[in-house]
Amino acid sequence: MIRVAAAQFASGLDLDENLVTCLRMIDQAAQHQPDLIVLPEFCNRLSWYEDQQEVYETAVTVEGEFLAAIGRKAHQHNCFIVINCTVQRPDQRVTVTSFLFDDNGNCIAEADKQTLMGHENKRFDRATTIAPIVETRLGTVGLYACRDGVTMETPRSLAIRGAQILCNSLNSFAFDEAGLHVPVRAPENRVFVVSANKTGALIPEPLLPTIAPALGVPADYLFGAGESQIVAPDGTVLAMAPRREEAVIFADIDPAQADEKQRPDGSDMLAGRRGELYRPISTPPSPDDGHFSAETIRAAVYQPQKSGMDAIAELVAVINQHDAIDLLVLPELFCLENGLVDDPTEAVVRSQYAINQLTTAIGSRKLTVCTTLVEQEGQDYFHTAYLIGGDGIIHNQRQLHRCARHAWAQLGDTITTVDLAWGRLGLIAGDDSIYPEVAKVLAIAGCDVIAVSFDVQEAWETTLGLLGRSAENRVCLVAATRPKPFGNSLIITQHDDFQIFTNWKTRQFNGTINEPIVTRISADADLTITEIHPATARKKVMSADTDLINGRAWQLATILTT
């Protein structure tokens, strides 16, 4: 066991005062005798500048006193320390860099920020190399900063190379960082996450009354949100700091737990990855193809109250009673008892019967229905997501990743989409939903909506995972599962107003930026219908020069696609 800690605090414009604050907070954290302390982003200076010359002059040097003092503290307290600063580089370049100091006071790793946020794109230079992982006496450590954790690529690349502890330094006023973007990275990778956020004004306080209206964010929200946290590999928050208050948190962890990647059915979450399917992530972005996306459609989830053949009859009766639904999603293998396949040949017959019954029931309705069924091709069987309309099968997507529950199934080898009257749809079959790369590829392909027909196995899938897929890619998501005590179906859509530092027309800024609108469906509900907004998925720019999809660090993503 080791003890990890995170310290949250404010930084100002004076480098010397900021160093004093860092050293004081390290000393405060050291009272708990941690093995590792993580500090926030931009520790050397508030990220607010008059011009580019000031950006360079106020950045630290790798060999300078600021970082040397941090190294001495690491040696004094016999602990590892992560700190993030702006750093002078050759040719007047400046990077936003996380440093790891060991317990001898030596800097043993640097990781430059890969994706920048808003004004940072004009002030700083992106990373040109992938973030390292570092073998230490504590375990294997990876570093990243703030915006790099809003999307999955950087944390994922660290985890698949063996990182056990991810250290995330933040400079964020957004409440959805702590609620979603920070914690989701732990269970989707089965790692520990230690995050440290800022407190205090993120813009010089005397300027707040003038700057806030121009930015379109109330002055009261332009303060570091705090809420630093330590998250376990199953998504459990082991410790969380208060909102906006200076604080230190700590927790005892066993890094070896991050080596256990097994799902409840024995499937390995990372070994099952298929890099060749994710290659769009590491290819240059393409312009929007201009496909039509409706402002609003009616989406629904149906959780059958019966099983087997009775579930088919139950669903047909529901369809016959409702005309105003555009997309209906069912749990995986809804027409098979408990969603299990004992005899694939018999399951194929049952699946074809379900397709025929649904096709007839839909008839001339505009409705399309998504579920997974069993498909046969030659001697092979597949677990396949189908989109069914009044004319039969419109689209299908075979499951792509091994799943021990469905050991009978062969795997598909492509990720595809379909254009409908209201927008572009992607299908996710079963446990493919736990792989963030799949949703990313669908978003890159222009999906407005993703339909997920699955069977939830762990709580994090519905508390964090599916929300993360929707939020980081700005897509609507309709997900149906058999209700479980730890997770039920979801319908997720996006706010129309999204880009910060612009005037919002349909809602007031409430401290969250990239948090979707979630309808959580109770276990005893059968049919749930709500409106979703496909057109919102076309808006990927969350701040100036910050596009969630086309702004990805694709040049550094080859680790995900090989």
The burial class, CB within 10 Å (0-12 / 13-18 / 19+), for 477 is: buried
> Which segments of the chain belong to CATH 3.60.110.10?
2-146+164-173+191-229+238-260, 277-560
Pick 277-560's CATH classification: 3.60.110.10, 2.60.120.10, 3.30.830.10, 3.30.1490.20: 3.60.110.10
Joined tokens for residue 11: 């930084």
Task: Please give the Cα distance from 445 to 367 (Å, whole number).
Answer: 23
pLDDT for 181: 97
Which one-letter DSSP state was computed for residue 326? Answer: S
Q: Are strands 94-101 and 368-377 parallel, antiparallel or unpaired?
A: unpaired
Run of H or E residues at 208: helix 208-215
Which residue, 560, 562, 553, 558, is CA-closest to 112?
553
Residue 502: predicted pLDDT? 83
Please tell me the distance from the alpha carbon of residue 353 to that of residue 203, in angstroms, as a whole number: 62
Nearest Cα neighbor of 35 from 165, 151, 218, 156 is 165
Residue-level pLDDT at 213: 85
Superfamily for domain range 2-146+164-173+191-229+238-260: Carbon-nitrogen hydrolase (3.60.110.10)
The partner residues of 237 in beta bridges, in order of sequence, read 231
Helix (H) or strand (E) holding 88: strand 80-88
Nearest alpha-carbon partner for 187 in 426, 487, 557, 490: 487
pLDDT at 505: 87
Closest by Cα among 71, 77, 70 to 22: 70
Q: Report the C-alpha gap between 466 and 457 in whole angstroms.
A: 13
Q: What is the pLDDT along the chain (562 residues), one digit of tens a residue?
A: 999 999 999 999 999 999 999 999 999 999 999 999 999 999 999 999 999 999 999 999 999 999 999 999 999 999 999 999 999 999 999 999 999 999 999 999 999 999 999 999 999 999 999 999 999 999 999 999 999 999 999 999 999 999 999 999 999 999 999 999 999 999 999 999 999 999 999 999 999 999 888 777 899 999 999 999 999 999 999 999 999 999 999 999 999 999 999 999 999 999 999 999 999 999 999 999 999 999 999 999 999 999 999 999 999 999 999 989 999 999 999 999 989 999 999 999 999 999 999 999 999 999 999 999 999 999 999 999 999 999 999 999 999 999 999 999 999 999 999 999 999 999 999 999 999 999 999 999 999 999 999 999 999 999 999 999 999 999 999 999 999 999 999 999 999 998 887 888 888 888 998 899 999 999 999 999 999 999 999 999 999 899 999 999 999 999 999 9
Contact 249, 230 (CB under 8 A): yes
Cβ proximity of 79 and 103 under 8 Å: yes
Cβ(398)–Cβ(432) below 8 Å: no
Strands of the 80-88 sheet, one edge to the other: 107-112, 94-101, 80-88, 36-38, 2-8, 247-253
- Dist CA 405 CA 454 (whole Å): 12
User: In a 10 Å sphere around its CB, with 0-12 CB exposed, 13-18 middle and 19+ buried, how is residue 306 labelled?
Assistant: middle
Position 211 scores a pLDDT of 87
